[in-house]
Structure 1
Amino acid sequence: MADQHSSHESNTPHGDSLQNQPNTTVSIRTLLEQNNMLRNDNTNLHQQVQHLVLQLNQQQIDSDRRLQETLFNLSESNRMLTIELNQIKKEIFNLTEENNRVTQENTYLKEQIDDLKQENLHLKKQVDDLKQENMSL
């Protein structure tokens, strides 16, 4: 059974036993060390990715919360401004009504003044006529 290899031996691509090559042990040790270093690097990178994902998720949660607060505040501001606008519209309507009423009253008073002026002129004429009549007597 000279053809069988021990469980620690393996063949190279050229068919040589690894034990027959001078630097095989050093190369395997170097490859194992590199493999361990890469595995450690991979683990570290995986942990960094997990940390960054957690950070990103927290930032997203914080951003969503701020956006929700902003949306609520804008909605509340909009509601308050709408109420204020409606109050101003009502006040404008009431002032317009009051202005119309005062304008009508002003027109009525002007008509009364004109009537009183006419009456005054008429009374003056009567006084003048009476004076004339008195002078004639």
Structure 2
Amino acid sequence: MKSQLTVFLVISVLLSCSQGKDLKRSPISPVAHSSVSIHVSVPTPVPGTGNLIGRLRKSADGLELFLAEHIGRTDEDMIYGLDVNNAPKATIYNDNLFLFLNVKPGKYMVVLWSPAVSYSVKLVEVLADRTVDVGEISP
């Protein structure tokens, strides 16, 4: 089956990835998130990869959460590609907490996706051997 490739040209970005909080992790550690304390075990990323954790401000029923890879020629090019058959996909928990595990380092756009519609949500950067808290995002 041929992969579907969607290219996003992002004109404006809601929040910069530099606002994310870098969290150094022990092999498995609880994460206290936002003003409400929620604990989830986040494994240490596979060496050379990184994790992203965050929370959706409201439920995204019927939508999946992917990372669209930066495909621009320079860091300033706001062009991202999403192949939903191969892109990193988040696990979204009942409390809207989401987690991307073992993602290769680089710049990505968090994308809420369904076959009918997709939304570019937030620019993030995955760091090798780290878990980055991207905070709360709005669908």
TM-score interval (norm. to shorter): under 0.3
Instruction: Name whichever structure is richer in strand by fraction.
Output: 2
Instruction: Name whichever structure is richer in helix by fraction.
Output: 1
Structure having the higher Rg = 1
